[in-house]
Structure 1
Amino acid sequence: MAEGNSKPQPAVWTTVRPFVNGGLSGMLATCVIQPIDMVKVRIQLGQGSASQVTKNMLANEGFGSFYKGLSAGLLRQATYTTARLGSFRVLTNKAVEANDGKPLPLLQKAAIGLTAGAIGASVGSPADLALIRMQADATLPAAQRRNYKNAFHALYRIVADEGVLALWKGAGPTVVRAMSLNMGMLASYDQSVELFRDSLGLGEVSTVVGASAVSGFFASACSLPFDYVKTQIQKMQPDANGKYPYTGSLDCAMKTLKSGGPFKFYTGFPVYCVRIAPHVMMTWIFLNQIQKLEKSIGL
């Protein structure tokens, strides 16, 4: 009888579940990881090492400064992570079905990760722009600060001051960065899960932690150069003559390469890796717990 009443729901829930679960797990992870992300952005903006940035923020702005832009971070997860994890799982399930239930080769997983990253970044780019601007605002001279109150105020001001299309400013590098990050993170995670669980026989906790650490490293290494360029493009301000320091992503990359060499793109890599890996771990852990909860209540 109970099963009969639940028949209409599973079809709908099966479709939306990967998206809902992905968004929820990403938002929960962001609440924990936001301070590290804030320090990472400040390092990329040239404010010193991780210890210097942390010390200066505590002394000059207080503990609350580490959570500046949290509303934008949550909005970003509600859009970007919902779209990328949901689409990755849907596309993976479809590919496994087409492969007669057999595990997918790494190359196919990487291609699905690239696609999911592009989808997620396209949806989440406005929230990502708001997040970067809110995090960078305190580093600007007082006269140049935008003083956004929250993510929605930031989006409103961007549209009002710069037009709707400005919401996708820096979308090119954002999409490329997301594609590289998701290729490294999602493909390596699924591959590592198969290795740790099926080949090495590790338990669930060890598998999740190990696979998350591996995927976090590859996500960081693949995406940081694009993340660096994206951050520079999104936070740039025009000079007195109305000229921007970079004409686009390629110009930013070439000037960065010329002035600082290839390792300049990896500024803040330890903090970036520390930020990505725990976020990946917590996202998957939260996702596993959500899925367990669903099973326990019969969803």
Structure 2
Amino acid sequence: MVAFKKEKPLHSLFAGATAGAIEAFLTYPTEFVKTRSQFSGKKEGPIKIIKDTLSTKGITGLYSGCTALIVGNSAKAGVRFVSYDFFKQKLADQNGHVSAPRSLVAGLGAGMTEAVFAVTPSETIKTKLIDDAKRPNPQYRGLIHGTISIVRQEGISGIYRGLFPVMMRQGANSAIRFTTYATLKQFVQGTVRPGQPLPSAVTFGIGGIAGLVTVYTTMPLDVIKTRMQSLEARQQYRNSFHCAYRIFTEEGVRRFWTGTTPRLVRLVLSGGIVFTVYENIIKALGGREV
């Protein structure tokens, strides 16, 4: 059973948004490499992608589409923590306890919410910017120009490509990450450090383990999401299921775990950074309500 104290919604939103922005900037090169490795075409390893990008675009090349992810990640993390707290409170029993299965449902709800309101538009734009950046003559000049161009060319649906796999991935991501984090945190506070606040290093470690578990269980959804948001998606795939079928039949089941290493690096760091920054900001703002 997981007991909790309530975060004030505005505190949770601010702490989550700040944590998301910091995490996105610090880990973006791993996201860039992961996304590039998942596009259809020849397979490229992480080291080759980094070398080729640095030789042709310089260090800034590893940050193509970064602004879109920072904005989206900030909104995503804010929405995620607020909605997770909301669902968690609704699912708590009369004593304020949330069981692991209910925590899983709360995380699933939070992930679905963030997918609709923040993740899908920012991820679609980021993916298209990265895909476009590898061309000899990129057509997008940045976040604003790219967004306007995509909407003009494809309509609002153009920035909502891959909504279904994003909802599935974010729902699974949040459900697994929050449940793993809450379970490990409860264990440490209950047995290792009873009645004591957790130091940042321990929070970082618990968040990192939550990210590790999340990566391996949700990787296929991430690959499908990337393919559905690429520039050629409308010509290659009818829908997410057709995309999954083509990857499986043409490239093999192992292709669903392409980009695992850079995503693993990012989500382990992400889990540590986000939860650590979030917890410290909540403390600085006055802690939690009883």
> Could you list the per-position Cα deviations for residues 101-155 of structure 1 after superposition, in whole angstroms to 9, with x for gaps in the alignment?
23x221111111111000000011112211111122122453xx432422x3322
> Could you list the per-position Cα deviations for residues 153-185 of structure 1 after superposition, in whole angstroms to 9, with x for gaps in the alignment?
322222222112222111111111111111111
CA contact (8 A) 2:23 2:274 kept: yes
Does residue 49 of the first structure (1) align with residue 36 of the second (2)?
no
SS state at 1:244 partner: helix
CA contact (8 A) 2:220 2:257 kept: yes
Question: Which residue type is aligned with residue 265 of structure 1?
Answer: F
SS state at 1:235 partner: coil
1:271 paired residue number: 262
1:149 paired residue number: 142
Aligned length: 276
Identity of aligned residues (%): 20
Structure 1 unaligned residues grouped into runs of 5+: 1-12
Does residue 72 of the first structure (1) align with residue 63 of the second (2)?
no
1:7 paired residue number: none
Does residue 89 of the first structure (1) align with residue 79 of the second (2)?
no
1:290 paired residue number: 281
1:210 paired residue number: 205
CA contact (8 A) 2:204 2:271 kept: no
**Structure 2 length as normaliser, TM-score?**
0.88
1:5 paired residue number: none
1:137 paired residue number: 132
Q: Alpha carbon RMSD of aligned pairs, Å?
A: 2.1
> Could you list the per-position Cα deviations for residues 26-68 of structure 1 after superposition, in whole angstroms to 9, with x for gaps in the alignment?
1111110111111111222255111111111111110011111
CA–CA distance in 1 between the matches of 2:94 and 2:176?
A: 22
Q: 1:15: how far off?
A: 2.8
CA contact (8 A) 1:224 1:265 kept: yes
CA contact (8 A) 1:18 1:85 kept: yes
Question: Which residue type is aligned with residue 65 of structure 1?
Answer: G
Q: 1:86: how far off?
A: 1.5
CA contact (8 A) 1:170 1:230 kept: yes
> Could you list the per-position Cα deviations for residues 229-248 of structure 1 after superposition, in whole angstroms to 9, with x for gaps in the alignment?
0101110427xxxx711111
CA–CA distance in 1 between the matches of 2:284 and 2:145?
A: 35
Moved over 6 A (4+): none
Higher relative contact order (CA 8 A, sep 6+): 2
CA contact (8 A) 1:106 1:191 kept: yes
Query: Which is worse superposed, 209-218 or 57-66?
Result: 209-218
Structure 2 unaligned residues grouped into runs of 5+: 1-6
CA–CA distance in 2 between the matches of 1:105 and 1:15?
A: 22
CA contact (8 A) 2:87 2:109 kept: no
2:116 paired residue number: 122
